[in-house]
Every structure is written in structure tokens, then in C-alpha cells.
Amino acid sequence: MAAAAECLVNGGLVAFPTETVYGLGAHALDPAALARLFSAKGRPAHDPVIVHVASVADIAPLVSTMPPAVAPLAARFWPGPLTLILPKSAAVPLQVTAGLETVAVRIPAHPVAQALLRAAGVPVAAPSANLFSRPSPTKAAHVLEDLDGRIDMVLDGGTATVGVESTVLDLTGPVPTVLRFGAVSLSDLRSVVPDVVAGAPRMVADATPQPSPGLLSQHYSPRAPLILYEGGREAVLDQLMQDARGAISRGKWVGVIAANEDTLSPTSANLRVVRIGPEADAVAIAKRLFSAFRELDAVGVDLILVRGFPAGDGLGMAVQDRLRRAATQIVPCPLRQPTRR
Ligand code: TXA
Ligand code: MG
């Protein structure tokens, strides 16, 4: 831990576990370290990163004003999977915020992240520790898959318990707005700040400055094209397996991401099924989602077919959101199948 903290303070890049996903840390007030961070990830400079600190007291120097909602939100959700967008102070380099006058701040709960932040004693800029546009890493092995040779160190804290990135809440506009769904749900947030709204996801990539580039489509993607089937369970599984058989008959290797209880037949040597949890268990599904993307990429499938999972609130919504962004195509499957001749 001492070596990792020293590395960070001296401008190095240290990947570390958080309860959501692994982050790639760099000294947030050191422009040279930040330049290395963006280059290691292949991340474009217009995508701002989250600053991680150990405690609420560490936030004051990073912000120009403290919105009144911060204290009650912090008391309820920090340390934990919530990121707040706040007005930035002059201390925060514009590299961190991609030129924005706002800064994203999070206090992670993972004991290794907490220990590292305390030992380093500096704010730590940490995007997810994946190559740009790849799925976020939920294990140390995923970090090495993408970044071995490009970073100084990774701290292995086992598998991330949440599995999808933090909820991002913007407190700098007229209305508190959720910019990214995560484990802290809209209703959780509204129990503390009643007027929170969900931001409209921007589904088309373009070159104009982004309120939150996490809202772009085509994020978090596996290498293979991903087709998402949404609708009633039976209709979804029928259509998905019909398409799987079609692709296999054309000589393709097909990966399927399904729920534990889904019936998927017939099996085939060219079909690889990854079951990521019981349909109704959003906690289990979120935890295994990105890992399933990477598993199927590692096998080398040509195509990944995924059934949609119930959205609900909180993690279910986060899973739906990540799947829609990862999808190259979304196939709506109506509850009632058209009659076939
Ligand atoms: O769970 C997480 O949040 C993980 C762990 C490592 O903490 N981090 C993470 O970082 O997901 P990253 O860089 O992959 O995602 C940061 C998100 C992006 O969607 C980015 O656009 C948004 O936060 N963001 C950062 N600064 C922002 C700002 N000033 N205004 C609006 N959105 C911002
Ligand atoms: Mg990321």
C-alpha cells in the first residue's frame, strides 16, 4: 500500500479496486500524471474523469461552492457507488474536467480504495481501468488484459461487488439530474433530494461537447457485435435462438448471455452460453455483466446475442442502460408473436 501510494504521489498510474469497478488512478492535481492517464487508456481529452477522495472533508478544496444537497447525500450514500458533479475550484486542472467548470467527485467504499486514498493523501483521478470503449474491469485480470505494460501497478482486491459504474448525479444545474444509472437508484436519491430527475440519455455520438460522455452510445462494448433482444421472455428467447441457429448455420461462432433459468435449445458446438444470474436478481446480473462480455470476447465468438433483463429501478436500470449502449442492434420482440404459416 505504501509503495502504491508513493507511486501515485510521484505521478505514476495505479489501478485499484472499488466496489463498482476497478479504477485507474493518477494524482488529480498533477498535469503530467493526468496526461499519462489519458494516454494509457487511449481516452480522448474531451471525456472528463472522476476525482476520488477518502472523506467529505477532502472535497472542500476541489469545489468553488458546496451545494446544500451534498451533506445529506454524503451522509446517506458515501462512502459508496455515487458520484456527484459539483462546481469546480481553481485547484482542479481542466484536464480532469475536460475543460468543464464542474468536477465529478466520489468517495469509494472498497477498503483497498479507502486505504490507498488515505495513504496517498492526494485527490486521485480515476476513470474505469479499461482501454477506452472496452467494458469496465471487475477483476484485476481484466485490468491487465487491457493495460498491462501501460500502467505501473494494479492492486488486486478480488471481484468488484457491484459490477457496474457509480450513479452520476449532477448538482450544478437548475434541477439535480442523474447522468448515469448505477447501484444508487432514482428512488434512493429522491428519498434524500425529492426533485431529482433522470437525464435523457444521448444515444447518438457526435463531436459537440458532452454533458457526460458516459451517455454516449457505443460505450462498454465487447469486440464482437452485440445484439440485444427486448420484450416478453418467451418471444425474446424464441427470436434469439432462431437468430443463433441462423448465424451458426452460416458458419458463425455465437455467444449468448442469458439468465440461469432460460431454456436454450438445441445446443451446438458453435454456441457458447454464459448465464449471469436469475432473471429477477439485478444484483447478481450487474455483477457478472461486463465479465460475460470479456469472457465471450476471449473465446473469440463472432456475435453476441443478449436477452434483455427486467429494468426496474437502480441496478436493473443500470444493466439495461449498459446493454443498450453496448448493443450494435436492438431487436424489439413483441409479447405476441406474429402468426407463422
Ligand atoms: O464507479 C465509477 O464511477 C468508476 C470507479 C473507478 O469509480 N469510475 C468510472 O469513471 O466509471 P469513468 O471515467 O469511466 O466514468 C466517469 C463518468 C463519465 O460518464 C464522465 O463523462 C462523467 O463521469 N463525468 C466526469 N466528470 C464529469 C463532469 N464534470 N460533468 C459531467 N459528467 C462527468
Ligand atoms: Mg469508463
Ligand 1 centroid, distance to 248 Cα (angstroms): 38
Q: pLDDT at residue 215 above 70?
A: no
23 lines ligand 1 (CB under 6 A): yes
Pairwise CA distance, residues 69 & 73, whole Å = 6
- Give the CA count within 13 Å in the CB-facing half-sphere of 311: 12
**pLDDT confidence of 266, banded at 50, 70, 90?**
confident
Question: So what's the pLDDT on residue 289?
Answer: 98
Average pLDDT, the chain: 93
126 lines ligand 1 (CB under 6 A): yes
Q: Which atom of ligand 1 is nearest to the CA of 43?
A: 13
State percent of the chain over pLDDT 70: 92
Q: Which atom of ligand 1 is nearest to the CA of 102?
A: 29
**Residues 279-332: tens digit of each pLDDT:** 999 999 999 999 999 999 999 999 999 999 999 889 999 999 999 999 999 999
Residue 178 amino acid letter: V
pTM of the predicted protein model: 0.93
212 lines ligand 1 (CB under 6 A): yes
Which ligand minimizes its atom distance to the CA of 213?
1
What domains are defined for the chain? 2-198 (3.90.870.10), 226-333 (3.40.50.11030)
Query: Which secondary structure element, helix H or strand E, spans residue 320, and what is its range?
Result: helix 315-326
Tell me which of 18, 24, 50, 88 to substitute to probe ligand 1's pocket, judged by most ligand atoms within 8 Å of the beta carbon.
50
**pLDDT confidence of 340, banded at 50, 70, 90?**
low
Question: So what's the pLDDT on residue 204?
Answer: 38
Which residue puts its alpha carbon closest to atom 18 of ligand 1? Answer: 214
**pLDDT confidence of 221, banded at 50, 70, 90?**
confident
Residues in the chain: 341
Question: So what's the pLDDT on residue 267?
Answer: 84
Q: pLDDT at residue 207 above 70?
A: no
Which is more confidently placed, 162 or 339? 162
Q: Which atom of ligand 1 is nearest to the CA of 172?
A: 30
State percent of the chain over pLDDT 90: 88
Ligand 2 centroid, distance to 89 Cα (angstroms): 24
Question: So what's the pLDDT on residue 82?
Answer: 98
Pairwise CA distance, residues 87 & 172, whole Å = 6
**pLDDT confidence of 133, banded at 50, 70, 90?**
confident
Separation in Å, CA 103 to CA 52, 63, 64, 85 = 11, 8, 10, 5
Q: Which atom of ligand 1 is nearest to the CA of 214?
A: 19
Q: pLDDT at residue 85 above 70?
A: yes
Question: So what's the pLDDT on residue 312?
Answer: 86
What value, to the nearest 5°, has the Cα angle with vertex 95 and ends 91 and 97?
A: 75
**Residues 61-73: tens digit of each pLDDT:** 999 999 999 999 9
**Burial class, 57, CB count within 10 angstroms (exposed 0-12 / middle 13-18 / buried 19+):** exposed
49 lines ligand 1 (CB under 6 A): yes
Separation in Å, CA 243 to CA 36, 182, 227, 235, 299 = 43, 31, 10, 12, 20
User: Comparing C-alpha atoms, which of 281, 149, 269, 165 is closest to residue 212?
Assistant: 165
**pLDDT confidence of 336, banded at 50, 70, 90?**
low
Question: So what's the pLDDT on residue 338?
Answer: 55
Residue 314 amino acid letter: G
Which ligand minimizes its atom distance to the CA of 318?
1
What value, to the nearest 5°, has the Cα angle with vertex 48 and ends 46 and 53?
A: 160
